[in-house]
Structure 1
Amino acid sequence: MLSVRDAETTIFNLTQPLQHPQDTEIVDLLSVNRILATPITSQLDFPHWDNSAMDGYAVRYADVESANHEQPVILEIVEEIPAGYQPQSTIQSGQAARIFTGAVMPKGADTVVMQEETHRDHNHIQILSAPKNQEFVRHRGSYYQAGNQLLPAGIRLNAPEIAVLAAAQCVKISVYRKPKVAILSTGNELVRPNQSLQPGQIVDSNQYALAALVHQMGAEPLVIGIVPDDKQALQQAIADSITTADIVLSSGGVSVGEYDYVEQIITSLQGTIHIRAVAMKPGKPLTFATFDQDERNILYFGLPGNPVSALVTFWRFVQPAIAKFSGLVDAWQPQFINATTTQELRSAGKRETYVWGRLSLVDGVYQFQLAGGSHSSGNLINLAQTNALAVIPVGEKVITAGNAVKVLKIGN
């Protein structure tokens, strides 16, 4: 049985990201949550021209550097410049132009005086306070200079990045294809949510939870469905999955029961098993294997069947593996935060233990609040609305309220 750290190292080292150019495609600008495959440069400066950051008056600093309320400087207004208008005048000594936020600075002017520091009288303006030299002027190229790298490859495209691409007039973008993740559940006791429950049966919630998580990550879930505890049926399902998917997730069938066939099937399909169990709670019966399929390295995760165990192992190992595989260069690793627990946390101390709850920021300090109710691996109910897993290290049985705890973020 591997430690969590050794299991993590094994999985992440064997996870190789998609490659450029064979794993890329061209998409349109509104394709959010995709991974950029090539760096972006622009032929535009940002800002595109010197412009005003304030409603006010464009002036020559040399004219107004001594202005004050007792001795205001009086300038002639020679032009009004709204946003989107090309100035026609060159500001001479003793002159000013009325200007609005975002408008192009006229030639000759180097400073903007905000309108609150002025008094207008017809076509003249009194400057009541001396501005700083070049105040409220956004200079061309001060944010970004044309020809430099604007966005690096290997980042996720969310709203801010989409805005940058739109501003740079990049309407077609090279991104990595979506990883395909096959998802199947095993067990004769499982039924679909729209079926009537008979004694001894349970609803297959894992299929839906895992598909939702895969979708949230920008990958493509391939929902295989429920496979009975039949060796031949399960072997066919896994064989089909590794021919169509990049990553396969099965839940159930990885323990030591008489109907747990996953490891036998992996071996018979020429897969290599790297992990059979992990010293963690919940999530001990985790299988991780790889298949060499048509020069593709397929990742296989045999997750525990218990709903909480399946999700905890997904968050701890599968989610970062999918993120790395998808082409993310940074920020694919699990994100841990040091927090203070508001309640006592308990563990048997034999395995690294994960308990779920809510992480919040209170007066600049992260706090972890344990979810109420039983922390059984079969209790899916109190996992709802949680966003973090607190980690109790091996050998530690109690973390008292008010003490530090390492917390894995699992939500927004």
Structure 2
Amino acid sequence: MITVQEAEKLILDNIGRIGAETVPITEAAGRSLQEPLTADRPLPPFNRAALDGIAISSSAYNMGARVYPVEGVAAAGAPPLELKDFKACIEVMTGAVMPTGTDCVIPVEEYEMTKKGAKLPDGMIVEFGQGIHEMGTDCDEGAELLAPGIALTAKEIAIAASIGKYELRVSKSPRIAIISTGNELVSIVQTPEPYQIRRSNDLTLATALAAAGYGDTELIHIPDDPEQISKSIKDAMSRCDALVLAGGVSKGKYDYIPETLVKLGVAIRFQWVSQRPGKPMWFGQFSRERERLPVFALPGNPVSCFTCLRRYVIPALDKWTDRPAPRPFYVKLDHDLTFKQELTLFLPVVLDPRPSGELWAKPALFNTSGDFSSVAKTSGFIELPRKRSVFPQGEAFPYYEWPS
């Protein structure tokens, strides 16, 4: 049995990198950028009015001009105008090209429009360049705007669109098979017999993965039959990029998953982790077309399954797809706690923000690793290290938020 830290290292050291593909910009959100994006022209590409008002020559005001006849209106998206009379003005809209012969913008609320033109009061400070977003002040042509490896959110998509990148080179989006096993599990639309339960792990995993940015999933359920398990997993390996299995990984008579995976050529990296919940966890990889593709076999108990997904699977997928993984932050335990087993404890908690800005964690009581109704009331879990039995109030521990 290995430690949590050893399991984490084995997964991240072996996960590698998924390939890249070119997709339309409309399909790139959530992916990791795999090319640098550079400015195709200076930004802004011209001197632009930064606000609504009138464009004038600053020297005209400083030489005594106070009323400015209006020669025209410069709208955003229109060709530039030219100021013909040094002591006149052109009305400008935000985003418009600054008219030739003008060098500043007076805000609309600072002048009075009369029959003779825009009237400016005495005592104003009128300076060259005020109210203007000057050409190239954001960046020069050829400047790198986004580096490879950044996750593409709405902000980055806006930048890509602004430089005309209608297609982007991004990390592939993996298709993930979510496989549950067990004769006791029935569809959620069925009325279970007294000895059966409705299937929930596969939907839980799919929902959590979608929330983490991995929405291309296929749900598969297999009864406890070695031949069916082998055939279904083999088929999934042929068409999916990653496998996440729930159940059948312990040492029970009907726990066929570990043996089946090995027979199918999956290289085992580890099985069994000194943690609670989730001790019977399995990780391996299979080879296909020169790629090493991940297989995560998680315990069937709902809390164990969900915890292992958050602690190991999602961070591994983030590294695999070259996305920046959210780091755990630390929260303080709000009362003394004792845990005597030689295991790392993943303890569900409710966050308790304090006026001081500190985050404290209130442990939640739950019966077993199948008690998902209690865990549903929590916001995440803290990780308490093994080889300790006493955890005092006020000590800080890593906190992992549940996928939402």
Q: Where do residues 150-165 of structure 1 align in structure 2 (5 Å cutoff)?
A: 150-165=145-160
Which whole-Å deviations, capped at 9, do the CAs of 1:84-133 have from their partners, x for residues lacking one? 33332237643333222222211232222223333333314214521454
Amino acid at match of 2:48: N
Determine the structure 2 residue equivalent to 1:221.
217
Go from structure 1 to structure 2 and tell me whether the alpha carbon gap of 1:236 and 1:299 turns closer, same or farther (over 3 Å shift).
Answer: same
- Are the aligned partners of 1:184 and 1:224 in contact in 2 as well (CA < 8 Å)? yes
Counterpart secondary structure, 2:120: strand
Q: Does 1:209 align with 2:204?
A: yes
1:17 partner letter: R
Does the aligned pair in 2 maintain the 1:29–1:165 contact within 8 Å? no
1:31 to partner: Cα distance: 4.6
Q: 1:40 aligns with which of 21, 37, 43?
A: 37
Q: How high is the TM-score relative to the length of structure 2?
A: 0.88
CA drift at 1:269 = 2.2
363, 372, 377: which one aligns with 2:369? 377
Matching residue within 218, 227, 233 for 2:228: 233
- Structural mapping, 1:9-408, within 5 Å: 9-20=9-20, 24-64=21-61, 73-90=66-83, 93-122=86-115, 123-128=117-122, 129-131=124-126, 133-216=128-211, 217-225=213-221, 227-328=222-323, 331-332=324-325, 334-342=326-334, 347-348=339-340, 350-359=342-351, 363=355, 365-370=357-362, 372-374=364-366, 376-384=368-376, 386-408=378-400
- Deviation track 1:210-247 (CA, whole Å, cap 9, x = no partner) reads 1222333235212222x222222222222222222221
After TM superposition, the structure 1 stretch with the greater mean CA deviation from structure 2, 357-366 or 143-152, is 357-366
Inter-CA distance 394–46: structure 2 relative to 1 (3 Å threshold)? same
Q: TM-score, normalised by structure 1?
A: 0.87
Distance in 1 between residues matched to 2:54 and 2:316, nearest whole Å: 55
Q: Is the 8 A contact 1:341 1:404 kept in 2?
A: yes
For the residues of structure 2 that align with 1:348 and 1:135, how far apart are their CA atoms?
68
Deviations 1:296-339 (A, max 9, x none): 212111101111111110111110111222233xx13x521123
Distance (Å, rounded) in 2 between the aligned partners of 1:140 and 1:360: 48
Long gaps (5+) in structure 2: none
Alpha-carbon separation, structure 2, partners of 1:47 and 1:6 = 50
- Matched residue of 1:157: which SS? coil
Shift of 1:4: 1.3
Task: State how far apart, in whole Å, the 1-side matches of 2:100 and 2:291 are.
Answer: 60
Alpha-carbon RMSD: 2.8
Find the aligned partners of 1:396 and 1:26 in 2 and give their Cα distance: 50
Q: SS state of the match for residue 156, structure 1? A: coil
User: Kindly tell me: are residues 153 and 361 of structure 1, through their superposed partners in 2, closer, same or farther at Cα, counting changes over 3 Å?
Assistant: farther
Match of 1:410 in 2: 402
The residue identity in structure 2 corresponding to 1:126 is L
The Cα of 1:361 is off from its aligned counterpart by 5.7
Give, as a single letter, the amino acid of the residue that structure 2 aligns with 1:214: L
Question: Over residues 360-397 of structure 1, what are the superposed CA-to-partner deviations in whole Å (9 max), with x where a residue is unaligned?
Answer: 76557252443755263111113336443222222444
Identity, in percent, stands at 27
Q: Deviations over 1:190-210 (max 9, x none)?
A: 111111111221222111111
